[in-house]
């Protein structure tokens, strides 16, 4: 349990680096496999990345865990979403019953799925008028996320559900990457109309004004204008790094949630990849700010770790090639003219 | 067996259309599933496309067949490839032994793999000086591809192997989409160096000059400057359409091979999708000419249907969501505010 922002900040500063030797061993083998050099493109880089952050050669994907955190948001009172706040709880029930997209996508990817609701009956405060969370509430949510990561996982996918949370995510990245405000970062979320989008922009700008004094600190910003499920994703991303587990981020909200780690340390998200770029307006911009190149671009905007779960399919394919292919020598194929 | 170009041309002109009713039924159900409308983006369109061209609601992916056609090319005498021509036969042996990338990717995708070598001991003629194939040779290759498509398949992925075949593919699309020549269409293939690339461009331009009189006809062009594996892919693409089987094309060579169908009929490739856009220089340009939007963009340039096999993973994921998700009514989730 993180007991203070200072303690959490210290944990964010003590991060293991990747293992260059494992990554180099993967690259060496890739060069010997029966294909023109680098002709599997991004797939080869994925295996190197897995090896680097698992600190293991070859890497493995025996246990892939999908964690979906759910939270409720006081800012929904500002009319920022196309859906009523009770949908968060309804969708958590739908996850439990197996009826949501991520249930199908997790099974399809051979991944376990765990949905973790965070005090759904206690929405965060409307951050246009007060901090979304107290320091204690924020640290509790971060710790919940931190503790949700199993040390046995080979890969963790992080997703979310929470009516109103694209507003929180946009406010958070507007705080972290100053200069654009609501106009730069607000998108349509689940499908808000033009008037709702205007209210969303206004709510973000009001939050930036209201909390201006403390937004320079990434963790304070995450507490003031974020959300519980975002805080949990931050905690899970941190836990994964400290346990040598690579992370697949999902869409705009997941990426925004993890972004404070990059602001605290330039290499803070090097163990994380962007499973996809979503159709939510700010996601591509945010990935650019973070230097992340998304694996997929399928015009999705669902959240729930749905894009991350699809990325798992490509990671498995990449690893299957790496471990299963014959070398030029084994296959008796001429290596160049 | 196609006995003449005229007979083949007639077959290319008699194509079934897609089934709008099945596609509409899929779209209707997608709108009822527990997610914001269209939030699964491209995944939803994929299921609609499967339903339209399988003429079936819901569509299915019980039998996915990957067909890899292999051929040899006389134009390799012009020094257009980084690898010697014997690698084609060596790689076919590697496919048989299970050591190639596509072996791993097919298994990973739950697809069957069939590799079909086409007269590897009889390379096509060097098309800078003579037609690559006689009409009879071309029709034999087209027929081989046509007959390789099983009527039981729910989806067919088409790939190729053939040292020198990016030169043939580039010459073919340079003939089909006049005005660019070798400079527009030649890429590095398996990794040819600068001098080899110059020879490749020159070979393409020489072929365009040599066969100028007959290149206006897409099928004659495919015989004069194509290759046996390209002709087989053309035949397989045609067979799939006539048997209501959607097709996933792979990279530059596969797409070029199928392109004559689009030149013969504006909707000739509507049952085909681009599994990915490869790193081979001309592929993105070619997809643009054909109006195809690739599903993946992973900087791959291997061929072997490798990109198409990855696309199967996303098709399966899309179908799993479509068939497995609960509707708003079933789940008791509020549909909009």
Q: pLDDT 10s digit of each residue in chain B, 337 long?
A: 999 999 999 999 999 999 999 999 999 999 999 999 999 999 999 999 999 999 999 999 999 999 999 999 999 999 999 999 999 999 999 999 999 999 999 999 999 999 999 999 999 999 999 999 999 999 999 999 999 999 999 999 999 999 999 999 999 999 999 889 999 999 999 999 999 999 999 999 999 999 999 999 999 999 999 999 999 999 999 999 999 999 999 999 999 999 999 999 999 999 999 999 999 999 999 999 999 999 999 999 999 999 999 999 999 999 999 999 999 999 999 987 5
Place of tokens 């992973």: B298
CB A200 within 8 A of CB A80: yes
Q: What is the pLDDT of residue A179?
A: 86
Q: Helix, strand or coil for residue B336?
A: coil
Q: Which of A 189-208 lie inside 8 A of B, CB atoms?
A: 190-191
Contact B34 A306 (CB under 8 A): no
Closest CA to B59 of B44, B73, B67, B49: B49
φ/ψ of residue B200, rounded to 5:
-65, -45
A152-170 confidence digits (pLDDT tens): 999 999 999 999 999 999 9
CB A143 within 8 A of CB A3: no
- Paired tokens of B140: 């034999």
B252-264 and B165-176 are packed helices; what angle lies between their axes, rounded to 10 degrees?
A: 30
Stretch A194-202: mean pLDDT:
96
Q: What is the pLDDT of residue B178?
A: 86
Q: What is the pLDDT of residue A171?
A: 98
Q: Among B84, B109, B296, whose Cβ lies nearest the Cβ of A334?
A: B84
pLDDT at A337 over 60: no
Using alpha carbons only, give the angle B250, B254, B260 rounded to the nearest 5 degrees. 135
Whole-prediction pTM: 0.98
| Residue B212 CA neighbour count, 13 Å, CB half | 6
Contact B97 A324 (CB under 8 A): no
Q: Among B35, B104, B301, whose Cβ lies nearest the Cβ of A325?
A: B104
d(CA A54, CA A155): 9
Stretch A285-301: mean pLDDT:
98
d(CA A192, CA B39): 13
> How many residues does this entry show for chain B?
337
Q: How many whole angstroms from its chain centre is CA B184?
A: 20
Stretch A259-263: mean pLDDT:
98
| Interface A-B: count of C-beta contacts within 8 A | 189
CB B236 within 8 A of CB B146: yes
Runs of H (alpha helix) within A98-191: 101-108, 135-148, 165-176, 181-185
Q: What is the pLDDT of residue B179?
A: 86
**B102: nearest CA in chain A?**
A321
- Paired tokens of B100: 């190639």
- Report the residue of B45, B321, B327 to disrupt the A interface, i.e. the one with the largest count of A CBs within 10 Å: B321
Q: Are strands A247-249 and A272-274 parallel, antiparallel or unpaired?
A: parallel
CB B156 within 8 A of CB B273: no
Q: Which of A 124-183 lie inside 8 A of B, CB atoms?
A: none
Q: Among A299, A321, A334, whose Cβ lies nearest the Cβ of B104?
A: A321
Q: For residue B194, with 0-12 CB atoms within 10 Å meaning exposed, 13-18 middle and 19 or more buried, which class applies?
A: exposed
CB B19 within 8 A of CB B55: yes
Q: How confident is the model at residue A178 (pLDDT cuts 50, 70, 90)?
A: confident
Distances (CA, A) of B12 to A206, B49, B52, B148: 62, 21, 19, 17
Q: Helix, strand or coil for residue B234?
A: helix
d(CA B278, CA B303): 9
Residue A42 forms contact with B (CB below 8 Å) = yes
Which residues does residue A114 pair with via DSSP β-bridges, in sequence order? A67
Residue A91 forms contact with B (CB below 8 Å) = yes
CB A252 within 8 A of CB A284: no
Residue A90 forms contact with B (CB below 8 Å) = yes
d(CA A194, CA B54): 39
Residue A100 forms contact with B (CB below 8 Å) = yes
Contacts of B302 in chain A (CB under 8 A): 35-36, 39-40
CB B113 within 8 A of CB B206: no
d(CA B109, CA B311): 9
Residue A108 forms contact with B (CB below 8 Å) = yes
Contacts of B314 in chain A (CB under 8 A): 298, 310, 313
Q: Among A40, A98, A101, whose Cβ lies nearest the Cβ of B300?
A: A40
Contact A321 B101 (CB under 8 A): yes
| Residue B300 CA neighbour count, 13 Å, CB half | 31
Q: How confident is the model at residue A187 (pLDDT cuts 50, 70, 90)?
A: very high
* Distance in Å, alpha carbon of A49 to nearest chain B alpha carbon: 15
Rg for chain A, CA atoms, rounded: 20
d(CA A95, CA A113): 9
φ/ψ of residue A158, rounded to 5:
-115, 120
Contacts of B44 in chain A (CB under 8 A): none
pLDDT at A172 over 70: yes
Q: How confident is the model at residue A326 (pLDDT cuts 50, 70, 90)?
A: very high
Q: What is the average pLDDT value for chain B, to the nearest integer?
A: 97
Contact B101 A33 (CB under 8 A): yes
Closest CA to B182 of B76, B281, B284: B281
d(CA A22, CA A59): 9
Q: How confident is the model at residue A335 (pLDDT cuts 50, 70, 90)?
A: confident
């Amino acid at each position: 349990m993180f007991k203070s922002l200072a303690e959490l900040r210290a944990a964010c500063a003590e991060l293991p680096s990747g293992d260059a030797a494992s990554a180099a061993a993967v690259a060496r083998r890739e060069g010997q496999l029966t294909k023109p050099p680098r002709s599997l493109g991004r797939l080869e880089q994925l295996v190197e990345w897995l090896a680097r952050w698992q600190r293991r050669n070859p890497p493995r994907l025996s246990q892939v865990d999908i964690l979906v955190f759910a939270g409720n948001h006081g800012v929904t009172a500002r009319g920022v979403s196309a859906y009523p706040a009770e949908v968060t709880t309804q969708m958590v029930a739908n996850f439990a019953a197996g009826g949501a997209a991520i249930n199908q996508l997790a099974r399809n990817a051979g991944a376990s799925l765990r949905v973790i609701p965070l005090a759904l009956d206690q929405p965060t405060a409307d951050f246009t008028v007060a901090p979304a969370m107290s320091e204690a509430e924020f640290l509790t949510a971060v710790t919940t996320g931190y503790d949700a990561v199993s040390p046995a996982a080979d890969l963790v996918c992080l997703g979310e559900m929470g009516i109103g949370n694209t507003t929180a995510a946009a406010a958070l990245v507007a705080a972290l990457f100053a200069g654009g405000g609501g106009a730069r970062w607000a998108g349509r979320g689940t499908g808000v109309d033009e008037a709702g989008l205007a209210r969303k922009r206004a709510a973000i700008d009001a939050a930036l004004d209201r909390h201006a004094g403390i937004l320079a600190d990434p963790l304070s910003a995450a507490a003031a204008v974020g959300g519980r499920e975002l805080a949990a994703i931050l905690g899970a991303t941190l836990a994964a790094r400290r346990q040598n587990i690579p992370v697949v981020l999902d869409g705009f909200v997941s990426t925004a949630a993890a972004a404070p780690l990059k602001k605290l340390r330039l290499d803070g998200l090097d163990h994380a990849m962007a499973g996809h770029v979503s159709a939510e307006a700010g996601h591509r911009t945010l990935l650019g700010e973070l230097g992340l190149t998304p694996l997929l671009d399928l015009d999705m905007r669902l959240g729930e770790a749905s894009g991350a779960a699809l990325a798992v399919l490509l990671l498995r394919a990449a690893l299957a090639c790496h471990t299963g292919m014959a070398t030029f020598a084994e296959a008796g194929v001429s290596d160049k003219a």
